[in-house]
């Protein structure tokens, strides 16, 4: 089965935080996260929707109605509030806001602005992602992030979103994990010839269906050629948001593994140069950095090596490493000097007691980093809901809340109350 770190992927010096950066004097954010395509349902104008439909496809199943959060977002916000959290991270879907190039939907801008307003009215800080993996179908068929005008198209979209809702947003993230699918010898999941061919066949089918000779998106194959466009898009997107509201904290979220060198210092340095540092540089003027950690990676002289046998295991055999978030926070802060917002951290498990233990242990690792003086702005758990986990479909269970696939009824799991209890107490002790 495809691991979540493959998501779609098949195929610094210390910098001072700018004066506008929020500091640890602001209330610590305790939150839960979702992303539009994974929960809303019927996101029919998105690139990934099309990839789910074409033949051949690599998706285990289509996203379909997802959690129907497009219509039930008010229940989701109410659950976050009832749990005692004070932040909700969600994403706005570019393909709803700009379903055809240059045609902006005021109705959908209003829709997302209502979510922001409801969060505020409920005392929740809305942490808003502008691009969480998906782009509009027309954008992918136009060449995606490889197209020369991609950064300006993204900045125009950011401007529209900011003008519609920036006053209410707490923290804005331009991109979610744009580094996830940069491949190199240090990658844990390297595509092989067979998976590359399967990805290319899926993309070719989507291109044909779009009447184009291309269909390009992040995380379908090796993203390396797209990175210059993404980095420029981040800069222009941030500038567009800041032009609307200069004091809105803006950053991006990166996939950060807790990398541990086991005789592989040179390989680890090579990973950092390719996988993290270009983003740190593009984020030099950002207000904070979003850190998303799900694992630890042991790096030997020629690449990742097996997790030590002594590592505790989950019931399904995967390494159980809740402390990994502590390592990635320490690394990213040291490398950037930025305040860190944990924008995702979680565990795929059907054993909710395991999730509850994970949450307490992960937060304890965050608290240890804070005690050592690292400015951490908040801890946002992935995910609020069991949802559509990209290639893997609905099988993974990251949610604090179960969702019935037919009635869409939400059932809060005990682990959600563990997180809410910690939030209410202001920490694990």
* Residues that bind ligand FCB in the complex, under the rule CB under 6 A: 4, 7, 35, 38, 176-177, 255, 292, 344, 382, 389-390, 398
* Residue closer to ligand FCB, measured from CB, 164 or 291: 291
Q: How far is CA 317 from the centre of its chain?
A: 25
Q: Considering beta carbons, is residue 92 or 255 the nearer one to ligand FCB? A: 255
Closer CB to ligand FCB, 52 or 344, in the complex: 344
Q: How far is the CB of 302 from ligand FCB (least distance, A)?
A: 26
Please report how close the Cβ of residue 38 comes to ligand FCB at its closest, in angstroms.
6
CB of 33 to ligand FCB, least distance (A): 8
Strand partners, 380: 31
Q: With both helix axes pointing from N to C terminus, report the angle between 69-83 and 414-425 in degrees, rounded to the nearest 10.
A: 50
- Tell me whether residue 172 or residue 207 sits nearer to ligand FCB (CB atom): 172
- Of 286 and 344, CB closest to ligand FCB: 344
Reduced to 3 states, what is the DSSP secondary structure of residue 127? strand
Q: Are 246 and 285 in contact (CB under 8 A)?
A: no
Indicate the SS3 state at residue 291. Answer: strand
Question: Minimal distance in Å, beta carbon 357 to ligand FCB?
Answer: 19
Least separation in angstroms between CB 173 and ligand FCB: 11
Measured in degrees and rounded to the nearest 5, phi and psi for residue 368 equal -65, -40
What the block records as the tokens of 305 is 């090596």
Task: Kindly tell me which of 49 and 398 has the beta carbon lying closer to ligand FCB.
Answer: 398
- Residues 177, 58: Cα–Cα separation, whole Å: 20
Query: Which of residues 298 and 398 has its CB atom nearest to ligand FCB in the complex?
Result: 398
Instruction: Name the E strands within 264-349.
Output: 289-293, 296-300, 303-305, 340-345
Pairing of strands 296-300, 303-305: antiparallel
Helical spans, DSSP H, in 44-177: 47-53, 69-83, 94-97, 106-121, 137-141, 150-165
Q: What residue is closest to ligand FCB based on CB?
A: 4
Name residue, tokens 């159980």.
320
> What span, in angstroms and rounded, lies between the C-alpha atoms of 364 and 381?
14
**Alpha carbons 105 and 111: distance in angstroms, whole number:** 10
Q: Which is nearer to ligand FCB, 222 or 389 (CB)?
A: 389
Shortest spacing between CB 416 and ligand FCB, in angstroms: 17
CB of 176 to ligand FCB, least distance (A): 5
275 DSSP assignment: I
Return all residues near 429 (Cβ < 8 A) that are at least 6 apart: none
Q: Residue 13 Cβ, how far from ligand FCB at the closest point, in Å?
A: 27
């Amino acid at each position: 089965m495809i691991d979540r770190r493959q998501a779609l992927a098949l195929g610094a010096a210390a910098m001072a935080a700018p004066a506008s950066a929020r500091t640890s004097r602001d209330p610590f954010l305790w939150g839960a996260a979702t992303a539009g395509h994974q929960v809303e349902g019927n996101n029919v104008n998105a690139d990934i929707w099309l990839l789910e439909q074409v033949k051949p496809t690599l998706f285990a199943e289509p996203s379909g109605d997802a959690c129907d959060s497009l219509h039930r977002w008010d229940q989701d916000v109410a659950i976050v509030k009832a749990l005692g959290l004070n932040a909700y991270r969600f994403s706005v879907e570019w393909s709803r806001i700009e379903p055809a190039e240059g045609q902006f939907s005021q109705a959908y801008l209003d829709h997302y602005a209502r979510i922001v307003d409801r969060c505020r009215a409920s005392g929740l800080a809305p942490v808003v992602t502008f691009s969480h993996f998906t782009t509009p179908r027309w954008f992918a068929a136009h060449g995606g992030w490889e197209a020369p005008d991609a950064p300006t198209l993204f900045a125009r979209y950011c401007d529209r979103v900011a003008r519609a809702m920036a006053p209410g947003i707490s923290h804005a993230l331009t991109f979610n994990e744009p580094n996830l699918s940069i491949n190199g010898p240090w990658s844990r999941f390297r595509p092989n010839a067979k998976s590359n061919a399967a990805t290319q066949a899926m993309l070719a089918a989507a291109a044909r269906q779009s009447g184009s000779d291309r269909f390009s998106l992040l995380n379908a194959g090796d993203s390396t050629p797209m990175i210059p466009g993404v980095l420029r898009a981040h800069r222009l997107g941030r500038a567009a948001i800041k032009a609307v509201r200069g004091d809105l904290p803006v950053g991006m979220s990166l996939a950060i593994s807790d990398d541990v060198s086991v005789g592989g210092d040179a390989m680890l340095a090579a990973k950092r140069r390719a996988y993290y540092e270009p983003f740190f540089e593009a984020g030099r003027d950002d207000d904070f950095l979003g850190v998303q950690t799900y694992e630890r990676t042991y790096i030997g002289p020629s690449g990742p090596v097996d997790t030590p046998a002594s590592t505790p295991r989950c019931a399904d055999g995967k390494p159980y490493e809740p402390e990994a978030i502590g390592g990635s926070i320490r690394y990213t802060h040291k490398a950037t000097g930025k305040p860190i917002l944990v924008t995702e951290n979680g565990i795929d498990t059907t054993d909710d007691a395991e999730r509850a233990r994970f949450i307490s242990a992960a937060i304890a690792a965050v608290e240890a980093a804070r005690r050592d003086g690292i400015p951490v702005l908040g801890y946002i758990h992935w995910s609020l809901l069991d949802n559509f986990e990209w290639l893997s479909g609905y099988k993974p269970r990251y949610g604090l809340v179960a969702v019935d696939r037919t009635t869409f009824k939400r059932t809060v799991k005990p682990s959600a109350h563990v997180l809410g209890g910690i939030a209410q107490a202001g920490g694990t002790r």
